[in-house]
Amino acid sequence: MLLVHVPRLTNRLGYTLNVLLRTILNIDYQITTSKELFLNHQGPRFSYGGDAPLADEPFFRAEKILFETSIAPHDVQHLMVGDTHAIFPVEQPSALPFDPFAASFFMLSRYEEYLPFLPDVHGRFPAEQSLAFRYGFLTQAVVDRWALMVRDILVKSYPELESPQPSAKFQVTVDIDAAYCYRHKGILRTCRGFLRDAFIAHDINAVKRRFRVIIGKEQDPFDTFDYILDHTNQHPSIIKPVFFILLGDYSIYDKPIPHTNRQQRQLLQHLCDYTKPGIHPSYYSFENTAEIAKETQRLAAILHRHIGRSRFHFLRLKFPQSFHALIDANILHDYSLGYPEEPGFRCGTGTPYPFFDLSTNQELPLKLHPFAIMDTTLSRYKKLDASGIEAIYQQLIAETRRNGGVLSTLWHNQNLEDSPLCAHNRQMFEMFVKQE
């Protein structure tokens, strides 16, 4: 067992040690503030904090953030350690030239998202205002890298320490904003669609296609579910897919099929025989417990099971209110943390980990499952061509293979349509699910 000496144990420090040592590195450890107990320990050990090691153990000098309780701006400095970006440099002596625990806490807690920022048009924290974007390390899973640096230092001093290389896993998640493009939308919305195609878009082919789909002569273009299941089921190395279903009321940003529609209910029941279901809370519900609970109950009634997973529509969330709303609605897994406009690791890791609320300085019973890339990020936001898109996917895959952990991707059923417009999305999807 690994023993860790700290001068003072705080909630922030205990949480960070647990995520790095147990969640990421799978190391059994204990924490002590007793110098006598630490010095008498015969097994692997290290000390954190203070000015120098207590004996001959690996020693990590500490930055103050893990010993604070307030939320305040920090002058976070950047450095390179080999080819790895790092923050919070420290003076020597120290086993590393930066504090890997303070740095990890800053990323995992999303500390910067509690501070004032200029939101985007949807009220979201923009990627370009993040420290990782400004210093150019969004596509590095830095928390995983820092954890492995700590492990390597410990194993060098204590070869008997058991800490196998974390394995890489790959995950497909799918947002169902609308299960169908033309079918099952009701008379009023269907008529509006015909009028829009004919008199606003002046697209007679769209009118004809809409009609063929409605009368059953052609498959609805958003109905890509068999395609998704066929490809994910062929590759058991892919973590069981998670589908997030939008069941909110109709609004300018929410246009789902009505939750009472019989065909959609049958579709969702079929999907959830093969996937994990989750709710996709509607645009205006991101800090409204009652609305989230209402929409979750709709899905639970359809599937006859508890719904414990969520991803906010438009990735619209607010720290920490949105996560409190989920917990209050009895949802204990969230998949919202990634950027719509940039690929990469918003939290510095793809490994699922517990949520720490800075406003109360407590770990709460909610697990965060970050994602690293969305299907439209590289084409719609970044305007990359096919080769540029594939290069980013390969970079993220290689990063995950290097460090272990999970590479989670976000797809939409409508963006996997069998059409020239979505051909490259399909190509990337098929490439991704073949990871071994």
Per-residue burial over 284-323, b = 16 or more CB atoms within 10 Å of its CB, e = otherwise: bbbbbbebbbbbbebbbebbeeebbbbbbbbbbbbbbebb
Strand partners, 124: none
Give the Cα separation of 343 and 80 in Å (integer): 21
Smallest CA-to-CA distance from 425 within 122, 156, 71, 172 is with 172
Specify the pLDDT at position 163: 80
Smallest CA-to-CA distance from 75 within 10, 131, 117, 145 is with 131
Specify the pLDDT at position 371: 98
Give the Cα separation of 56 and 175 in Å (integer): 52
Specify the pLDDT at position 197: 61
What is the full per-residue pLDDT of the chain (436 aa) written as tens digits? 999 999 999 999 999 999 999 999 999 999 999 999 999 999 999 999 989 999 999 999 999 999 999 999 999 999 999 999 999 999 999 999 999 999 999 999 999 999 999 999 999 999 999 999 999 999 999 999 999 999 999 999 999 998 888 899 999 999 999 999 877 777 777 667 656 766 676 677 766 676 677 777 788 889 999 999 999 988 877 889 999 999 999 999 999 999 999 999 999 999 999 999 999 999 999 999 999 999 999 999 999 999 999 999 999 999 999 999 999 999 999 999 999 999 999 999 999 999 999 999 999 999 999 999 999 999 889 999 999 999 999 999 999 999 999 999 999 999 999 988 889 999 999 999 998 6
Specify the pLDDT at position 61: 97
Give the Cα separation of 13 and 144 in Å (integer): 17
Peptide bond into 320 cis (omega under 30): yes
Give the Cα separation of 224 and 119 in Å (integer): 34
Specify the pLDDT at position 206: 67
Peptide bond into 93 cis (omega under 30): yes
Specify the pLDDT at position 38: 97
Contact status, residue 108 vs residue 355, Cβ threshold 8 Å = no
- The phi, psi pair for 157, rounded to 5°, reads -80, -30
Contact status, residue 73 vs residue 115, Cβ threshold 8 Å = yes
Residue 384 burial (CB < 10 Å; 0-12/13-18/19+)? middle
Specify the pLDDT at position 166: 87
Smallest CA-to-CA distance from 412 within 224, 230, 240, 238 is with 224
Residue 169 one-letter amino acid: K
Give the Cα separation of 250 and 142 in Å (integer): 40
Specify the pLDDT at position 201: 67
